[in-house]
Chain A
């Protein structure tokens, strides 16, 4: 048997095991069609909260990154301090803190938005670093050349810094997207019914832990793996 065949054999064995596990458990379990629907709803909520957080987080991350690359001493300390806290405190504690803080202020806010706001702030902390690295990666001389050729301040950003900077940092942005999708699983701690939380509910209802977990792992994997392949491909392609 040659090398390639061994590889396929291993994958085939895993696939056969998973198929066997699925068929035998579904036969003997109390799982119904509605449970699958429930699970898919959770999957949609995971995607929904991730997309919202990524969009808002990236928007603020770009603003913060711009501010940080042009920061004076005071705003540098203020901004870095704030973003540093977001990155050094476990996300799950941030969710609980923000949720209970909203309770203290007696603000009526849905669980979805508590999750989305915290996750966006968390995303923006990482995007800020990436954006700043992107802006800093454009050589000072290039920018001075563009300004002396008559480009305005914003034109310099729009036509020189943006296209050059995005080449260096786009792969890092993709990996932030990946980690946000995975971290969105933690919103379950305040009771948002996303993919992992629905799975947990179904586990306590049907006791089919392994099958459900394999299923949900598969869902996460098929969202995440293509994006990570794409990031690796980009990194090779954009390498200067």
Chain B
């Protein structure tokens, strides 16, 4: 049926495999940093969206809805091409990091809000009447429970962040996908190169999942 006369050349990929591994490190670095900054911003956004002060609420709502209702690729283009209009020229690396942070913050804020909402407000009254301060209540009573609730959604978001870094290639960032694109353009062994890259993403995503499961076992003694 098919006239299949294609010979796979895996050795071409193997020769530059170390370069791909170091590119994978950049991918992980950007993903971790965007999660870290995203989480910090997300805490403020989630508090802002639930507050009564419109000066805090409106910007938080706008941020969250924009992050969740536009494609991540659009957000990256916005940071890379769009900011040029204001005279801000970011390198692809910084542009992708900023866009992913923006995106992660929006999604994580909603996750955190769900977590905070699931804690009954009576717990606050109870611990206050037991003589704990507001900060103590948040730190010792509410946060540990919220962390447990949002732990798995956060793991998912982390995997999303890793997969989203692949969009960086479209603005010329040399993370795993970008590097693969650069390397394959020398030999045009597109299929072999991208198959290896796909396998690498799969391994990274599964390692994150496994790591988070092990950590959960340690943190929550297995009942999360």
Contacts and interface: CB of A to CB of B under 8 A. Distances in A.
Contacts of A4: 54
Nearest to B2: A105
Given A4-B54, A221-B69, A106 B2 contact: yes
Contact of A88 (B66, B84, B205): B205
Given A92-B167, A209-B82, A217-B70, A196 B77 contact: yes
Contacts of B70: 182, 217, 220-221, 224
Interface stretch (B18-26, B146-154, B195-203): B195-203
Contact of B71 (A6, A185, A203, A225): A185
A109 interface: no
Nearest to A89: B198
B54 A221 contact: no
Contact of A97 (B71, B159, B198): B198
Nearest to A105: B2
A127 interface: no
Interface residues of A, number: 46
Interface residues of B, number: 46
Interface string B145-188: 00000000000000100011011011000000100000000000
A62 to B, nearest CB: 23
Interface centre among A90, A96, A178, A210 (most CB of B within 10 A): A90
Contacts of B164: 90
Contacts of B125: none
Interface stretch (B32-40, B57-65, B212-220): B57-65
A182 B167 contact: no
Question: Interface SS of chain A: helix, strand, loop or mixed?
Answer: helix
Contacts of A182: 69-72
Nearest to B78: A213
B206 interface: yes
Interface in A63-111: 85, 88-94, 96-97, 100-101, 103-107
A35 interface: no
Interface of A: 3-4, 6-7, 10-11, 14, 85, 88-94, 96-97, 100-101, 103-107, 178, 182-183, 185-186, 188-189, 196, 199-200, 203, 209-210, 213-214, 216-217, 220-221, 224-225, 228
Interface of B: 2-4, 6, 52-55, 57-59, 62, 65-66, 68-74, 77-78, 81-82, 84-86, 159, 163-164, 166-167, 169-170, 177, 190-191, 194-195, 197-198, 201-202, 205-206
18 contacts: A7-B54, A85-B198, A92-B170, A96-B190, A97-B194, A100-B191, A100-B194, A101-B191, A106-B3, A182-B70, A182-B72, A196-B77, A210-B85, A210-B86, A213-B74, A217-B66, A220-B70, A221-B65
